[in-house]
């Protein structure tokens, strides 16, 4: 008998993606943390405007690019590939169900870790002594 490997369905707060997409903005807000909930309830028109333009770009087969780093991720965005501006360039982000309730800017880091090379000649006391 062949064993069938089944992928576990990904859920957010016990709800599948189809159930989440059916929720209204107010119903979805009850599942989110306070900061995301307040942002969602105060400015639902920003998210609606973004989703309308994103769906329009998808239908025209264009890339979805945005500078809106403070936009809360909602279930209708799941599956989209969004390019988020990090201050220098656009970073490609595939939106997944685990990202719901977070902000776009959390996934496009604005700062990189600095990797300094070795000190140059004359940069330290020891290298000055070697010159003599």
In tens, the pLDDT along 26-58 reads 888 888 899 999 999 999 899 999 999 999 999
Give dist(CA 98, CA 37) in Å, integer. Answer: 16
In tens, the pLDDT along 92-132 reads 999 998 899 999 999 999 998 888 888 777 777 765 665 55
> 87 with 108: CB under 8 angstroms?
no
Q: What is the DSSP letter of 121?
A: T
The helix (run of H) or strand (run of E) holding residue 130 is helix 125-131
* pLDDT reported for residue 68: 94
Q: What CATH class has 17-112?
A: alpha beta
* pLDDT reported for residue 85: 95
pTM: 0.78
* pLDDT reported for residue 106: 93
């Amino acid at each position: 008998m062949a064993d069938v490997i089944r992928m576990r369905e990904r859920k957010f707060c016990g709800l599948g993606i189809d159930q989440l997409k059916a929720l209204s903005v107010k119903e979805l807000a009850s599942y989110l943390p306070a900061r995301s909930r307040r942002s969602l309830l105060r400015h639902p028109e920003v998210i609606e405007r973004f989703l309308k333009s994103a769906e329009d770009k998808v239908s025209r087969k264009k890339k979805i690019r945005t500078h809106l780093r403070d936009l809360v991720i909602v279930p209708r965005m799941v599956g989209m590939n969004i390019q988020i501006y990090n201050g220098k360039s656009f970073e490609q982000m595939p939106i997944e169900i685990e990202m719901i309730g977070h902000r776009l800017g959390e996934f496009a880091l604005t700062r990189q870790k600095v990797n300094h090379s070795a000190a140059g000649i004359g940069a330290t006391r020891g290298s000055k002594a070697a010159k003599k």
